[in-house]
Structures are given as C-alpha cells and as structure tokens.
Structure 1
Amino acid sequence: MRKVLVVEDDKFISAIFTMFLRELGHELIGKCADGKDAIELCHRLRPDVVLMDIHLEGEMDGIQTAEQLRRELDIPVIYVSSDTSSQVIKRAIVSNSYGFLVKPVNRKELGIAIDLAYYKHKVDQEQRERERGYRQFISEASMPLMILSEGRIQYLNNLALDLFKTHYMEDVLLSPYLNYVHHEDKEQVESLLDNFKAHGHGFDQINIAMQDVHGQSFFALISGSSIIFNKKKSLQVTLVDNSKAVYAHKRVELLLDYLNKLGQPYFITDARHKVKGVAPHHLFDNTQLLGLRINQLDEWFSSAGDGVLTFTNGDKQQVFMAEEVLDATGEVYELLYVPKIMPQ
C-alpha cells in the first residue's frame, strides 16, 4: 500500500482517483487543488507518490510544484494531464518526473504508474546513497583517483588535484581528459577511452606523459575500471605519480650511453645488492660477479662510504658510486655503480 497525495483542480477527476486508489489498495492521504497547498501537505504528510495535474489553480503550475517538491523533499511525482503539447512534454521531461499519464486514465494504468514510480524512486535513492558513499571513499582514498564519463572529468579527489597542481576542482571539471595528456601518448589513451565506450572494458596500468593545469609535464601510471556514477557507465582512473622513476631511468640511460661510448667500467645490482650486470671491461677480467651479492664478493669489493665501493682486481683498482633507479612507488629497485671520478 502506497500513501498517495492527489493534486487536481477538477473535482470529478479527483473523485475518480479517490475511487481508483481505494480499489487498488492504496491510501489517499490528502487532496488539494493548487501548488502551494500541495507543498504544505507534502511537508506535513510525506506521501510516497504524488499525482499531479499540470494546469492548477494559483501561481504555480504542476511542473513548478513538482520541481520544488523534488528539491525540498525528494518525493516522486506522476503528472496527469490532457495537455500533450510539445512544450509541456519537454518541461515534464526536464523536471525529472516519474511518469506522465494522459487523461482519461483507467485504473490499471494508474496502478502500474504508481508502482513503477515508487520502486524507481527507491532504486534512485539507493543509487544516490551508493554514490555518496563512493564520493566519500574516493575523497578519502590514499591514492589519486578521478572519474571519467564520455572522456570528460566528472570528479577527482584532492590527491588527484595535487597532481594537476590546483586546489580547485572547477579548473578541470568537465574538461576532456585528453587535454592533460601529452601529444605522444594521446593516441594510446584515446584508443583506451574508445574501447571503454564501446565495450565497457577497463585497462591495466600504463605509463604516460601528462601535464598539469599550468602546462608543466609529469609522468603517471594510470589504470582504469568500470563503475556506475551519476547513473552512467563511467571510468574510474587511478593515477600514480611516476615522475621520479621516469627521470631516474632517463638519467641512468644517459649515463649508460655515456659510459659505453667511453668504454668505462660499471656494474648493476638489484636493491639487495645482487650483481645483475657487468660492463665488458678489462677491470673485471677473471672475476665471477653475476648473481652474487656484494657482501659475498669481499675478495674484490670493499666499502668506501655510504653508496661508495672500491673494486680491486690485482693491481687494478676503481672507486664506484651508486646511482639509484626507482620504481613507480619511489622505492629503489636497482643500483648503477659508476666510476666516482668520471672522465670529462
């Protein structure tokens, strides 16, 4: 049984609705003929559904009354009218009503409309509650998150705002995400967004170059997953600032290129100081370094300070210093040992 309020200025039609509601097993909790009274009764009686004529007595018509009820009380309204002009229909659609019945209305149509409006409103309430919880979740999340719909930024948390170098969501809200992707990665990201739009598929983590609201470059690892946001299929994007790791890699690549061109010695270890690579240099002749930790190689290595090692092989000696290679979390995962005194 639903509690129903009837807002109708035609007494004959109001009487028919009263009879239909009784036969359908619903409770008629009130009747009125103008918008002002309807709002007052809804505040006092809190109906489950309102049957609303569009052309009412008084200053407010039914659509204006329904919009105020939605803002103030979130009560589902079903319009009942004989006016099906395009202007009225457009206004009714924009007002987010829960139904439109054309007079004359029979009992079966009325019963179906009331049940649909009631249950659709419940579903909408549950969805809004989930979205409120989700907004709170991403706002409090420990990583940068943003939500895209149709490729545009719909929401992002404070950590994501930090990456974009702004405190104001309005600076990026509703902007195409591609606006913040460097041109060399736009084609790849656009393909991922198109795939999501067509098939609803998220994507695994990739590294891309981006720019903040000031046009300054940074690198981010992004991954995407499908969610429902504002009743639409949307893409939740997780961003991890990867700039330190990328710049560290670029520095190491330049160093390796420089060392190889000059024929200089170097070696690489993992974070636990296990040797992973050794330059083809006479300094390392007749040694077995690969796969062993530095502390297992005291025949050749001795510490000369923090991050500094002295390598001795017979009458050949070289002091090396460590260059850190970082992963996406900023943790060291490799060490490149280069000559402490580099040739000019």
Structure 2
Amino acid sequence: MNTKYKILIVEDQAITAMEIKQIVLALGLDVVGIAKSNEEAVKKFEEYLPEIVIMDIKIQGDRDGITTVKDMYKIGETSVIYLTAFNDDATIDRAIETYPLAYEIKPFNKASLQSTIKIVMSKLNKDIVEKPILNVDLGYNYSFNQDTKKLYFNNTFIKLGYQETELLFMLIKAKEQIVSYKQIENEIWEGNVISDSSVRTLIWRLRTKFEYKIIETIPYEGIRLLININK
C-alpha cells in the first residue's frame, strides 16, 4: 500500500529541520509544516492532522516536545517519532508515557532516520489493513467512526475538540440510555471538581456540531442520543 502520509516536523534548529525535511521528501512523503514551539506545532497539527510527527524534545518556549505531543493527542491520533539529544532515563520514561513508535538519538544519520520512518509507515499500513472500521450511523447523514473517533457528515470530516469527541463517544457507548451529568464530569474531567456550567457548555458545544436534534436533555438527569444504535 503506497499511502502518502502527512508528516509534521517539530524542530527549533532551522538547519536540522531542513535536513529532516529532505530525508522525509526523499521517501515520497508530504511535509505539511515545520514548527519551532508548542503553540506553532499544535496549531499546525490541528490544521493538517498529520499521520506522523517527528518531534524534538527541546523546543522553543516553556512546553517541551513531550508535553506538546500530549497536547496533540487531545486533538487527534498520530504516530510520534522522537528525535532528540536527550537520552537520560527520566526523559525517556516521560516520552514512553506518550507511546511513541520510535525514539532516535541525535546526532542522527540519513540511513537511520529513513529506516525508522519506513518502519513506522509499515506499521501504519498494517493497521489500515487490519483494523476494522466501526461506523455508527447517527442519522441525518451523520456517522461516527468508533475506531478513529471521528465524526462525518456526508463523508465530510467534522472537527471536534477532545472533550466533545469523548462526550459523543460516551453517548454512543450508552446507546439510548441516559448519561448523567455526574458521569460526564467523572469521565471527561477525571473526577476533578468543576462547575455545572462547564458540563452544560460542553454539551452545548457538541450540539452545535449538528444541524438536527440528536442529543436530548432529560431534566435533572442527563442527556442521551435520540437515535437507535443497535451495535
């Protein structure tokens, strides 16, 4: 399978970034951007949703590459290759928590990095072939892919925030059962104490992504999907 994956490079040294870009382009892949900081990287990630991110750990700003990867995961899935000069146990342990597919130590060479990228591509290709696509019909030409957690309208992708995605996934798993406000608070905010308005605002944000009334409010109890999900 010759998929042309999109790659985002996060590297604050211009010369190094261009070296990485040339290596990636030589493999026939699409470099969608180069970022130097957390803010720039997250913005480009949200815009392009690259399948692969090559991430330096020491980047501009207060938020390093590992924290930046965690921020990206709140937006969508990606495969991470860390490319860094850090090889101490503490940094590697932090990086492992983000489930990278590779961890390359600088200084790197072209052959090594190309081999790493090819291995990551091979795994992605294998996942595409083997992973089942579990689409849920939400009615009104909306569908939700439970595998990728993505919402579509007439096969057009609709971008959801991380919390909106998790809330919709909760409703789908519950089928036609009511999801209480307390359940939403516990799962989305992981038990942290928040205001009632935070839950209501999240529900409102999700509702605005649909042109039809798919989410029903049950007074004093919670919300549920109005559609019949048989899966």
Q: TM-score normalized by structure 2?
A: 0.52
Does residue 85 of the first structure (1) align with residue 83 of the second (2)? no
Structure 1 residue aligned with 2:108, among 94, 105, 109? 105
State, as a whole percentage, how many aligned pairs show the same letter. Answer: 25
Does residue 60 of the first structure (1) align with residue 63 of the second (2)? yes
Cα displacement (A) at 1:130? 7.0
Q: Which has the higher strand share?
A: 1
Please list every run of 5 or more consecutive structure 2 residues that lacks an aligned counterpart in the other structure. 137-145, 147-173, 175-231
Cα displacement (A) at 1:109? 1.7
Structure 2 residue aligned with 1:118, among 118, 121, 130? 121
CA distance in 2, matches of 1:91, 1:125: 28
* 2:47 corresponding residue in structure 1: 44
RMSD: 2.6
Structure 1 residue aligned with 2:36, among 21, 33, 38? 33
CA shift in 2, pair 1:65/1:125, >3 Å: farther
Number of aligned pairs?
Answer: 134
C-alpha distance after superposition, 1:177-222 (max 9, x if no partner):
xxxxxxxxxxxxxxxxxxxxxxxxxxxxxxxxxxxxxxxxxxxxxx
Cα displacement (A) at 1:95? 1.1
C-alpha distance after superposition, 1:103-131 (max 9, x if no partner):
12222222222222233245457776479
CA contact (8 A) 2:56 2:83 kept: yes
Q: Secondary structure at the match of 1:72?
A: coil
* 1:12 corresponding residue in structure 2: 15
Q: Secondary structure at the match of 2:47?
A: helix
CA distance in 1, matches of 2:130, 2:69: 21
Does residue 22 of the first structure (1) align with residue 22 of the second (2)? no
CA distance in 2, matches of 1:42, 1:106: 26
Structure 2 residue aligned with 1:71, among 55, 71, 74? 74
* 2:220 corresponding residue in structure 1: none
Please list every run of 5 or more consecutive structure 1 residues that lacks an aligned counterpart in the other structure. 137-157, 159-344
Q: Which of 1 and 2 has higher RCO (CA within 8 Å, sep 6+)?
A: 2
